[in-house]
Amino acid sequence: MPLLSSFIPPSNNLIIGTHIIPGTNIPYRNYSNTFPVKLFDLVSSEDEGIVGWQGHGTSFQVRDMDKFVNLILPKHFKHNNFTSFQRQLNLYGFRRSASYDKGAYYHPQFQQGQRELAESIRRVLAPGSEGSGGKDGNGTSTGGGNSSSSNSASALA
């Protein structure tokens, strides 16, 4: 008796946990310990006198910087560098409020009581980071731009 193949033909669907997102072929792993989820757990569980949700539940604020840096950051992120923490916020698309919640950070998918929204937050790609034309590790241009010297060289060929 021949063995039945367990081959599943490729599809244009992305499986995330038990959810399927149609029309994608992007490899993806859904780790529950990403920065936004750790941040959600931190803001939801720590002393509100140090860090906590704002009253409307759509932003959070660090209220005691010294305690946050020396007690909370090392506990959740294994460092006490607030600049690094801010960089992570920026990489995930968080913005600092300049309105009545001055100093608070917000993201449309970061809302009190909705951890599943935080799980869907992904890093934001910097402009121009998808293609060539960047710099290598030594700060040297990798090409990809439309400089006149490369255009005239190709015109001579």
- Residue-wise pLDDT for 138-153, tens only, equals 444 444 444 444 444 4
- Residues 120, 106: Cα–Cα separation, whole Å: 15
pLDDT-derived band at 126, boundaries 50, 70, 90: confident
74/138: higher pLDDT: 74
Q: Please give the pLDDT value at position 129.
A: 65
Q: Which of 105, 133, 109, 104 is nearest to 119 (CA)?
A: 109
Q: Which runs of consecutive H residues, i.e. helices, occur in the chain? A: 35-45, 65-67, 73-77, 82-91, 115-119, 148-156
Q: Please give the pLDDT value at position 130.
A: 60
Q: Is the pLDDT of residue 53 over 90?
A: yes
Topology of the domain comprising 35-119: Arc Repressor Mutant, subunit A (1.10.10)
Q: Please give the pLDDT value at position 127.
A: 73
Q: Please give the pLDDT value at position 85.
A: 96
pLDDT-derived band at 89, boundaries 50, 70, 90: very high
The answer to whether 86 and 94 are in contact (CB under 8 A) is: no
- Residue-wise pLDDT for 5-18, tens only, equals 444 545 444 444 44
Q: Please give the pLDDT value at position 98.
A: 82
Question: What is the pLDDT averaged over residues 98-117?
Answer: 90
- Measuring CA to CA, how many Å separate 115 from each of 32, 112, 148? 10, 8, 51
Which residues are 20's β-sheet partners?
A: 15
